[in-house]
Amino acid sequence: MKQLTLIAIFFITVFSYSNSVSQNTVTNTIANFNIYDNGNKFSFDVYSLRTSAPDFVMGNSSYFLKYTLGVFGNAVITNVNPKYTIFSISNSYNEMGSFIYSSGKVAIQIFYNNGGPGEVISNDPGVATFGERIATINLDILDQSILPNLQWDNINTAVVNPFFQSANITNNGFYNSPLPVELSSFTSVVDGNNVNLLWSTTMEINSRGFEIERKSSSAEWINIGFIEGSNNSNVTVNYNYKDRFLSKGNYNYRLKQIDFNGNYEYFDLNSDVSIGIPVNYSLSQNFPNPFNPSTTINFSIPENSRIVLKIYDLNGREVRTLINNEFRNADYYSLNVNLAGLSSGVYFYTLTGSNFIETKKMTLIK
């Protein structure tokens, strides 16, 4: 079935080139290369941009890419542009298709159904500057040791209107970087409300480093830190990162490994990390200390209760009330304090809770 589809697409391509509309130009681009699922999958976006003034309506069009045989398998398309599929407002298209061939090629096919007028290819570069995204191609990585040499198949790629006339096309983009990092382990250790992340690699090629990302159950992924990679390495390298002063709750972590050429892949921690309720009251030393004029005070309370947090000078006079007999749930807390209005010197801060009181010293230097 795939062989028949390829023959049909090839016939349309050859026919359309013989009937090209010379004043219409379209630039196709592949970009946003991404390795994910712990190095098992590879994806990229396919874009089209009309670069000439006359409108050009999308018809039966083919986007063909070729790669080193044996690197990829099992093509799936996502982020399909609704203009060019069954969701089009003009009811002009059937469902967009993806095909992978044993010869080392992958393709997206747009099927015009003759039921509507079709949709005009946009000439707006958009934020990405590549035009409108046609779809994202997702591939299984079968062999990380082979350079993929992903590039356009210019012979079989054609952007064609409903009258089988082809635009003059320019195809941009390729990917031939090593599939870069082999992660042998990624684990976590919880210490109170701190999480120590540990990971090891057995091979790194062109590795700039790792962004560490975290999300709670009700939030988006955020970047919390960066650890430099080993550039090129074929021995085991161990890494760690400590995420400090978290509130109680469940968290997910992932690594975003970035190459020097900007390519990246994600590695997910396999399980959630849970931060429980504190066992005891505690008041931590402020950080930084000395400071000017801001510092952070961390404390924990093991039960729902009212607490007081105040700052005193050397004479015992109260100079700032941070928390005044307020009700707080059992949790870990981090409070940023700005003492810009006070003069340089030594101060004391005191946390008072149910059957608990503790004082620490801080130094303000201006």
pLDDT digits (tens, 9 = 90+) for 164-191: 999 999 999 999 876 667 788 999 999 9
Q: CATH number for the domain including 335?
A: 2.60.40.1930
Give the pair of three-digit tokens for residue 182: 């082999």
Torsion angle of the four alpha carbons 29, 31, 35, 37, in this order, in degrees rounded to the nearest 10: -80
Q: CATH number for the domain including 157?
A: 2.60.40.680
207 and 63 fall within a common domain: no
- The pLDDT of residue 93 is above 70: yes
In contact, 41 and 184? CB cutoff 8 Å: no
64 and 201 fall within a common domain: no
At residue 232 the predicted structure's pLDDT band, cuts being 50, 70 and 90, is: confident
262 and 287 fall within a common domain: no
For 265-311, the pLDDT digits (tens) are 899 999 999 999 999 999 999 999 999 999 999 999 999 999 999 99
How do strand 21-36 and strand 167-172 relate by DSSP bridges? Answer: parallel
Give the pair of three-digit tokens for residue 334: 């981090």
Average pLDDT over residues 246-253: 95
C-alpha 295/C-alpha 298 separation (Å) is 10
The pLDDT value recorded for residue 178 is 66
For 105-147, the pLDDT digits (tens) are 999 999 999 889 999 999 999 988 999 999 999 999 998 778 8
- The pLDDT of residue 22 is above 70: no
270 and 294 fall within a common domain: no
**Structural domain count, the chain:** 3
Domain end residue (candidates: 246, 275, 304) = 275
Segments forming the whole domain that contains residue 189: 181-275
Beta bridge partners of 120: 57
- The pLDDT of residue 324 is above 90: yes
Amino acid at 35: I
Give the pair of three-digit tokens for residue 359: 């004082």
Average pLDDT, the chain: 90
293 and 259 fall within a common domain: no
Hunting for tokens 């090839």 — which residue is that?
10
- The pLDDT of residue 224 is above 50: yes
Query: pLDDT over 70 for what percent of the chain?
Result: 93
In degrees and rounded to multiples of 5, residue 11 shows phi and psi of -65, -45
The pLDDT value recorded for residue 123 is 96
* Radius of gyration, alpha carbons of the chain: 29
Query: pLDDT over 90 for what percent of the chain?
Result: 78
Domain end residue (candidates: 275, 310, 332) = 275
Hunting for tokens 């044993």 — which residue is that?
102
The pLDDT value recorded for residue 171 is 98
The pLDDT value recorded for residue 21 is 47
Report how far apart, in Å, the C-alpha atoms of 91 and of each of 62, 104, 118 are: 19, 33, 8
142 and 187 fall within a common domain: no
The pLDDT value recorded for residue 20 is 47
